[in-house]
Homo-oligomer: A and B are copies of this chain.
């Protein structure tokens, strides 16, 4: 069973509409609070050579990216840290704090535990006006599909293209862009952490329309041969860009660099250059 199969199982226990988005949405006075929680741990999430500071930064960036993908302004971050060695704590906490500071959030607390394998769970809270909240559901035929930056860079770094190591190890969540896109009225949004194709399939699962991309328009990772770059851009995980749909007339959104890569279509399918795109990418799989 893969991660999405287990998510379907969870949908029999939690209100399934709650599971459609990157964050839970909670009333908070006249605004909405969004809340996201993400688990990262050494063997699967922290590439070899990563510093403790980078680990703290990444654990925080992951949850800030989820907050951004709803159009919300980040507020507070909590960090639960399961430490294999106590001397790692200060680097991790400093990385988390610096990431919060960089993106206007505050590290307000957490939990500390001893663990055989370094394990970090970040929880991010953010606020958004109800009219600026963006969900995964909301795409309409005729909307364009766009992304906020190059795709496949993190995976390119893992494949040995060292010029992309910073994108892999010190990812920059699109916090400012997410809020600007929400205010501008984009119709659907999510972040692309599991790769573009899986993300398009995730949008497919909660919308009543389909998604057609033109691979010639994909912003590819620099310095990678084109064929390989296109593969990385389609299937590579670990990117922190936002994927969104929008009525064409609201683009460009001032201050947001975004690339149109396709359009929303009435047929419920995911296409690349007119051909159906297989649903694959960066998924945790349990064997057996």
Q: Contact residues of A with B, CB < 8 Å?
A: 1, 3, 6-7, 9-10, 13-15, 18-19, 23-24, 26, 28-31, 33, 35-41, 43-44, 75-76, 78-83, 85-86, 89-90, 93-94, 97, 107-117, 119, 121, 123, 125, 284, 286
Contact = CB atoms under 8 A, between A and B. Distances in A.
A113 to B, nearest CB: 5
A26 B126 CA distance: 11
As for how many copies of this chain the complex holds, the number is 2
18 contacts: A6-B112, A7-B112, A10-B112, A13-B94, A14-B97, A14-B108, A23-B109, A24-B76, A24-B78, A28-B33, A29-B30, A33-B33, A33-B125, A35-B125, A38-B80, A41-B82, A115-B119, A117-B117
B90 A9 contact: yes
Nearest to A19: B109
B111 A37 contact: yes
Contact of A26 (B19, B40, B76): B76
A156 B18 CA distance: 40
Contacts of A75: 26
Given A89-B6, A93-B13, A35 B112 contact: no
A107 to B, nearest CB: 5
Nearest to A14: B107
B286 A37 contact: no
Given A13-B90, A75-B26, A112-B10, A39 B107 contact: no
A117 B14 CA distance: 24
A10 B93 contact: yes
B35 A76 contact: yes
A75 B25 CA distance: 12
A82 to B, nearest CB: 5
Contacts of A30: 29
